Amino acid sequence: MIRVSVSLANASVTETETLTAGRVGLECAFTFSSEWDDLAKVAVFEGAETIEVALGTASVAVVPSECMATAGYNLRVGVYGLSASEAIVIPTIWAKAGKIKDSAAPDDESLAPATPELVAQIIEKSDTALMLAQSVAEQAASGAFIGEPGVSPTISSTVIENGHRLTITDVNGETEVDVMNGTDGRNGTDGTDGTDGTDGVSPEVTVTSITGGHRVTITDALHPTGQSFNVMDGIGISVIAEPVKLALLQLASKVAYIDEHGQDYYGDLYDALYPLTAISAVYEQSGTVYTTDTLDSLKTDLTVTAVYDGGATQTIPGSDYTLSGNLTEGTSTITVSYGGKTATFDVTVTAVPGVFSVANTLVGCTNSNSATTATEDTAYSGTITAASGYTLTGATVSVTMGEVDITSTAYSNGTISIAAVTGDIAISVTAVAVVLSSISAEFAQGQTVVYDTDSLDTLKQYLVVTATYSDSTTATVPSADYTLSGTLAEGTSTISVSYGGKTASFDVVVTHYVARTRIYFADANPHTGYLKKTNGADQALNGGSYVELDYVDGMYIHTRMNRSWSAYLNIVMYNGSTYSSTPMTQTGSEAYPTYENTLTGYTGITKVYVNFVTPDIDDCYYEVEE
């Protein structure tokens, strides 16, 4: 959509869009001032062709496709109004809608429909031009175009003290100019046969009438024969009657149809009849303007309006006017120049922010903010992180800005925070190396039997050594990194742990080692058959094989079936006549069944039977003390 605002003979585009070759159906809407209320309106579009379109009551026309057919043309829009007698009353100036750009449309012009009744419109406009010429002639003959008479200027000269006064009277009133006499020449200095100096010459001014004006002649010392200039009678466009102005514009608009330069003639005539009288500048500052910004950057927030004779106004594009002045800190006044007219506006200017350095001196730590500069009045922050083996606890910290110590307000618990930078920043942090403070030892012996013949390193599988460091952190020390010292003796032994120059100790219950002989069933030639029970019946506890041992009070017995599949183990006692009704131990079906005990306090017992039930007894054994 293109929107055109029309005020009397002025037309200006207030809204447009990208114009592309081959565009069809682009609408153009017009708004009119009250002078157009009773007139029939005809829109004129100029592009690849110039075509007129009659406007209806909605004042909306479709831009003819012929005008949009070819890229490279500037689309211009105008309008003229017709009275009831079909005489053109008001033609406007051309308004530029934009340049028609190349597009992806096909070259086949037949795709765009022709403007309806184009030939008929041309014939109609020719008849209208003829009637207009006749109307202008008739109105001129009746004296309708006679304006106010022009005023021929008069010049008079009167003698005043030491000169003459020229009085010029024209349509604007009287203007006086004083022409003073020259001073006498200075007398020559006294001397031998000195001569007097030449007297000065007083100028003379004469005024004589000539055809169409007056001739002014001034005679003075530089121009003893006189110097003349003519002051012609004026006709003043400003006194031309408004109907004459409109008639001239109507005739000029018709020239456009027969002369390729006709539009330029029309524009020049319009500018002469309705000259630019003033411009205004309204600046609405939307952001910060710095002293280093260009003047042209201000145009984004600037609206420049041209005011023409007759009251018409138009917004001036930023490319058409110029700005002058200097952007200095504070309030600067900038001048706008257009068409020989000027206006001014004020802008608030801010000095360019300073850039300050940021220097880090860090030992055993890092800063998350690696920036080496900071902009004035911006915030700065960074997180200090201790390197491995260091701590910020007890660290030496210094933060200065502009050589002023701000550590107390800028640093806290490893965080540096500065609300607004006003100078060079220097950050110095020396972290403290972490050292071992102490170690502790926890020995979980549980049911584990430790013999006095065991090595100290066998204890490490039940031992946890913890190191505590100066930053209060702890860590478990690998068994390969610490050493054990001490002696394993029957009873309770205290063993020392050493690591990193620190020591700790723990207690261990130690059992005296007694040598035992392990006898495998396969080597013992075990019995097969049944074990007797109290009721005298031969019953197999679980069948399988058994070995018979002589009972000795305090004897040690350790039996084990070295099998991972299900097996049974039974220990049965015999007093010479009967077997124990219940085995001392009887395992269920399980992997690796075992029994270990020292037998004592059993009165009358003479034999102990060990019964294994397993598919293969080769790996089954019992142990006895040597």
- Residue 301: is its pLDDT beyond 90? yes
pLDDT at residue 458 greater than cutoff 70: yes
* Residue the block writes with tokens 């009287």: 174
Name the average pLDDT for the chain: 79
Q: What pLDDT does residue 241 have?
A: 55
Q: Where are the beta strands (DSSP E) in 413-515?
A: 415-418, 425-433, 436-443, 450-451, 463-469, 474-476, 483-485, 491-499, 502-511
* pLDDT computed for residue 526 by the predictor: 61
Instruction: Give percent above pLDDT 70 in the chain.
Output: 68
Mean pLDDT of 460-467: 96
- Is a pLDDT exceeding 90 seen at residue 401? yes
Beta bridge partners of 428: 361, 398
> Looking at residue 523, what is its pLDDT?
57
Amino acid 586: pLDDT? 53
Cβ contact 370:377 at 8 Å? no
Higher per-residue confidence, 55 vs 336: 336
Whether the Cβ atoms of residue 251 and residue 139 lie closer than 8 Å to each other: no
**Best CA proximity match to 616, nearest among 520, 548, 529, 540:** 520
pLDDT at residue 496 in the model: 97
- CA–CA distance from 527 to each of 117, 519, 523 (Å)? 133, 15, 12
**CA distances in angstroms from 346 to 21, 336, 400, 534, listed in the order given:** 43, 11, 40, 125
Least confident of 213-222, 452-461, 514-523: 514-523
Q: Note the pLDDT tens digit of each residue in 570-588.
A: 777 888 877 775 556 555 5
Which SS3 state, helix, strand or coil, does residue 494 take? strand
- The answer to whether residue 282 scores a pLDDT higher than 90 is yes
Q: What is the pLDDT of residue 48?
A: 87
Q: What is the pLDDT of residue 224?
A: 76
Tens digit of each residue's pLDDT (9 = 90 or more) over 192-209: 766 676 666 677 777 788
What fold, for 436-511?
Immunoglobulin-like (2.60.40)
What whole-number distance in Å separates Cα of residue 109 and Cα of residue 153? Answer: 62
Is the pLDDT at 386 greater than 90? The verdict is: yes
User: Amino acid identity of 319?
Assistant: S
- Helices 118-141 and 242-255 pack at an angle, to 10 degrees, of 140
**Which of 47-61, 85-99, 539-553 is least confident?**
539-553
Q: Residue 391: phi, psi to the nearest 5?
A: -140, 150
Instruction: Supply the pLDDT for residue 270.
Output: 65
The token duo for 208 is 């004589």
Q: Residue 198 gets which letter from DSSP?
A: P
Burial of 10 (0-12, 13-18, 19+ CB in 10 A): buried
CATH number, domain 2-141: 2.60.40
With a CB cutoff of 8 Å and minimum separation 6, the contacts of 583 are 541, 570, 571, 572, 611
Q: CB within 8 A of 378, min separation 6: which ones? A: 353, 420, 421
pTM over 0.75: no
CA angle 484, 440, 507 (to 5 degrees): 55
Domain 516-625 fold is Jelly Rolls (2.60.120)
For the beta sheet containing 60-62, the strands, ordered from the edge strand earlier in sequence to the opposite edge, are 10-15, 2-7, 27-32, 60-62
**Of the candidates 104, 25, 37, the residue with the CA atom closest to the CA atom of residue 67:** 25
CB hemisphere CA count around 531 (13 angstroms) = 28
The yes-or-no verdict on residue 497 having pLDDT over 90 is yes
What does the pLDDT look like over 118-169, one tens digit per residue?
444 444 544 554 455 455 445 555 555 455 555 667 777 788 877 778 787 7
What mean pLDDT do residues 459-483 have? 94
Res 279: pLDDT: 95
In 3D space, the residue among 194, 161, 193, 206 whose CA is nearest the CA of residue 180 turns out to be 161
Residue 607, pLDDT score? 84
User: Three-state SS for 447?
Assistant: coil
